[in-house]
Amino acid sequence: MSTFGAYFRLVRVGWILVREGVVSALPSEGLPPAISFAKSFVGLFARRRSKSQKRSDRLARAVERLGPSYVKIGQFLATRPDVVGVDFADDLSQLQDRMAFFPTAAAKGLIEASLGRTVDELYASFGEPIAAASIAQVHLGEVKTPKGFQRVAIKVIRPGVRHRFANDIEAMYLVSHLQERFMPSSRRLRPVEVTKTLEQTTKVEMDLRLEAAALSEIAENTEKDPGFRVPKVDWERTGRDVITMEWIDGVKMSDVEGLRAAGHDLNALADTLIQSFLRHTLRDGFFHADMHPGNLFVDDHGLIVAVDMGIVGRLGKKERRFLAEILYGFITRDYIRVAEVHFEAGYVPAHHNVESFAQAIRAIGEPIHGQPAETISMGKLLTLLFEVTELFDMETRPELVMLQKTMVVVEGVSRMLNPRFNMWKASEPVVGEWIRNNLGPKRIVTDLRDGLKAAVKLAEAVPEIAAKTEKFHHELMQMSEAGLRFDAQTAEAIGKAEARHNRSGRIALWIIALTLLYLAWLLS
């Protein structure tokens, strides 16, 4: 899409936000006088009815008018309170991903195009839609198996959603580039990188094969875990635009009275939920990043079943160790160690003082130790921690922010089930075991084993590295003997670059060329 088209879409978005009263409801603290005046001025164009609504209601109405893409954008930004602010993130988290149904005939057409077979061949029955969101809608169906007919959930992508999102993301890129250019203080948050993350995660979510793969991976990781599972995937009936999976008969976790009426132990469910999430995070480094109560069921056997794996998060070994050491440091009040972990991981620039950072960490930790255990929130602790890191130029770590946001949601569900939920007591079996295995003597054995694997890989790659080095040396010697020559394509490319770039670009281009000539002269 052209830049003009992106500007046009951005103007449309801005006008809708103004008309629905979202802009006038934004906080004015800290804004320059000119911006405050502009905000007051555009408030005159808001609809009258919007002025009496809460900001979250105004936002919901605006997003509804903007369309499905902006529901997904809003939900993503709700996971980034570091970017949009805590209050605004809370408003965005209340967006309801419930959209109008699209015709069943269109769903059948998408399935047949994706799987290359007719719906009648694939399913014994195919019902009308029962739920619709911004990306896809779900149908209840049946498949014939050797054991008889089995009910399945059939999730089908929304027609045209990929094209619509591709256009809308251009406006997001425009905003992020303008933000980085004219708001230097926001560069720490890397808004362009945030937009890239949004684009990537949504593209993944729009390929239902990848959701199926996420379900399969989680199923393997949790096969022996107590109290938790995910639906089984029917790979024969799964493609880019459709995923077929086991139908879950159970009670949604949002229905607390229903869970109680079914005889489930709510306190045990709260413990199992947080322990499962921490296992996925620390042990596997792969977690469901959208674990709100609408995506969690409790089946007839009392097992928690997580559905809708379109959004997932991954943590590398360094990030997992970072998280565990932070939690352990807060528990033991070793604030110097918490600060050192930030510096060792490279999250806080080295020019800052470790002791000063530890002082800021202490300001978070000490008030927590004065509270009853059941009132201490791990999610709140991480939120405060990320707020403090802003003072020390810590760049945004998208994977950690997604983890923090998901932890807040999971912890909230556990407290919904058990108002006196003790986060630390429930998590200790999982966190304690991981710390013993990964931060104690066993860590040395693990590091040695990983180091040995890396050494073996390096040894296997040595011949290839040597061959490439020899080839590069040979090419440099040829340049030193015959001079530096450009082929016709390179010469044409340089000509185009000369015409396209400004004076500074041309200088950089010739610096590179002169550097190559100098290297050739040294080797001659």
Catalogue the active-site residues.
290
Tokens of 512: 């590179």
- Cβ–Cβ < 8 Å for 272, 296: no
DSSP letters for 441-486: HHHHHHHHHHHHHHHHHHHHHHHHHHHHHHHHHHHHHHHHHH----
- Per-residue CA distances from 360 to 364, 385, 388, 391, 414 (Å): 7, 9, 7, 9, 29
How far is the C-alpha of 279 from the C-alpha of 427, rounded, in Å?
A: 10
**How far is it between the farthest Cα atoms of the chain?**
86
Residues forming beta bridges with residue 139, ordered by sequence position: 129, 154
Whose tokens are 């992106």? That residue is 6
Tokens of 439: 């931060």
Q: How many CB atoms are closer than 10 A to CB 281?
A: 26
- Per-residue CA distances from 359 to 333, 338, 339 (Å): 12, 11, 9
Whose tokens are 């709700």? That residue is 78
How far is the C-alpha of 227 from the C-alpha of 224, rounded, in Å?
A: 9
How far is the C-alpha of 316 from the C-alpha of 310, rounded, in Å?
A: 20
DSSP letters for 481-522: HH-----HHHHHHHHHHHHHS-HHHHHHHHHHHHHHHHHHHH
Angle between helices 55-66 and 68-78 (to 10 degrees): 140
- Cβ–Cβ < 8 Å for 392, 352: yes
Phi/psi for 154 (5° steps) reads -115, 110
**What is the chain's length?**
524
Name the nearest CA neighbour of 382 among 443, 438, 319, 444.
319
List alpha helices for 241-281, DSSP H.
Answer: 256-261, 266-278
List Cβ neighbours of 18 (8 Å cut-off, separation of 6 or more).
Answer: 24, 42, 43, 45, 46
